């Protein structure tokens, strides 16, 4: 009798897991979830600029910017852990063998990505940085396909990425002059930042097979935020002028990271990296649109070029996702 009861209970658990997996693989769920993430990340561009002004951080003060990022990510990690604990009705605590995975993710997603990003951004233009960052989608798909063998590299995935990247180029070069100079501390560091981000996406998918994405997200943010805070402080950074509006902005930026990265991690758990990562092309599009709304930077967000860029990005996303329909459930469990 006990064996029958245990078997029935196990069957119900498996059915629940299968139902959740099928739900998270639905096209509408992937599109809506990923677009929410990209809209949040896109809003970070103007929000960070506004936050710098509120907290008296100068554009070239890299140490203070890294310290500010450290505060943001420590708070983001605490929020993820608290929210995840409420959802699960128990405190989220990593298993002993989970810490190696958390620290690897923390190094890639938070520490390496943002240190390279902030130093690189201080030594190149925002337009060139945005274009280079757009390459992270290609890198993530190549790493997932060729190195970790999590999925197959297909012609539709490559062509979809090419179309989407064309949209990123278009939205960034509108009215801008781009020189072809190269600096390792500028463009080179931005490129290293994209590599770190791409690998973090692949590792998040790999580790979330056996781990709770909320545990991974929350604790990697806290660990990475502490390292960034220390790096910023040792670089001579300081963050002052904490007013009510400055604190609210810091909380909002922390929520952006907490909600977007956790949701992104859940989507990666159940879908191919390519199916989710390709939405990264929407980040600069949302960034341009929201910067126009909140910062008055309307030149880049107006005209037919921005509309054409949005169409190209959406077309690229559709091509990549279309190639995964009917094959996602097969590819999602393939790991090296």
User: 142, 144, 102, 161: which is closest to 317 by C-alpha?
Assistant: 161
pTM of the model: 0.78
Q: Which of 287, 285, 288 is nearest to 315 (CA)?
A: 285
CA atoms within a 13 Å half-sphere pointing along the CA-CB vector of 288 = 27
Predicted pLDDT at 334:
28
Q: What does the pLDDT read at residue 42?
A: 82
Report the range out of 5-14, 46-55, 206-215, 317-326 with the highest average pLDDT.
206-215
The 10s digit of each residue's pLDDT in 129-147 is 777 777 788 888 888 888 8
CB 164 within 8 A of CB 317: yes
Question: What is the DSSP secondary structure assignment for residue 238, as one 8-state letter?
Answer: -
| 320-to-7, 55, 137, 167, 324 alpha-carbon distances in Å | 40, 41, 11, 15, 7
Q: Are the C-beta atoms of residues 118 and 185 closer than 8 Å to each other?
A: no
The DSSP code sequence of 88-134 is HTS-----GGGHHHHHHHIIIIIIIHHHHHHHHHTTS-HHHHHHHHT
Rounded to an integer, the average pLDDT of 63-85 is 94
């Amino acid at each position: 009798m006990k064996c029958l009861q245990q078997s029935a209970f196990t069957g119900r658990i498996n059915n629940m897991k299968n139902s959740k997996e099928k739900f998270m693989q639905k096209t509408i769920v992937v599109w809506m979830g990923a677009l929410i993430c990209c809209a949040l990340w896109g809003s970070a561009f103007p929000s960070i600029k506004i936050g710098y002004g509120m907290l008296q951080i100068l554009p070239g003060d890299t140490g203070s910017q890294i310290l500010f990022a450290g505060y943001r990510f420590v708070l983001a990690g605490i929020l993820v852990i608290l929210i995840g604990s409420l959802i699960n009705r128990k405190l989220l605590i990593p298993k002993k063998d989970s810490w190696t995975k958390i620290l690897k993710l923390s190094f890639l997603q938070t520490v390496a990505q943002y240190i390279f990003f902030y130093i690189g951004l201080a030594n190149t233009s925002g337009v060139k940085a945005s274009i280079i960052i757009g390459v992270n989608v290609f890198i993530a798909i190549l790493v997932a396909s060729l190195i970790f063998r999590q999925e197959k590299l297909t012609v539709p995935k490559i062509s979809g990425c090419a179309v989407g990247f064309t949209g990123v180029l278009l939205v960034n070069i509108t009215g801008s002059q781009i020189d072809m100079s190269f600096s390792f501390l500028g463009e080179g560091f931005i490129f290293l930042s994209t590599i770190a981000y791409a690998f973090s996406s692949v590792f998040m998918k790999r580790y979330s097979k056996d781990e709770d994405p909320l545990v991974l997200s929350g604790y990697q943010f806290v660990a990475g935020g502490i390292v960034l805070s220390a790096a910023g402080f040792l670089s001579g950074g300081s963050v002052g002028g904490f007013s009510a509006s400055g604190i609210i902005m810091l909380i909002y930026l922390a929520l952006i990271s907490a909600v977007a990265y956790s949701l992104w991690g859940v989507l990666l758990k159940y879908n191919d990296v390519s199916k989710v990562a390709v939405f990264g092309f929407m980040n600069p599009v949302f960034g341009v649109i929201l910067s126009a709304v909140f910062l008055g930077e309307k030149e880049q967000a107006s005209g037919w070029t921005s509309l054409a860029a949005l169409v190209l990005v959406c077309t690229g996303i559709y091509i990549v996702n279309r190639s995964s329909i009917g094959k996602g459930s097969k590819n999602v469990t393939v790991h090296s």
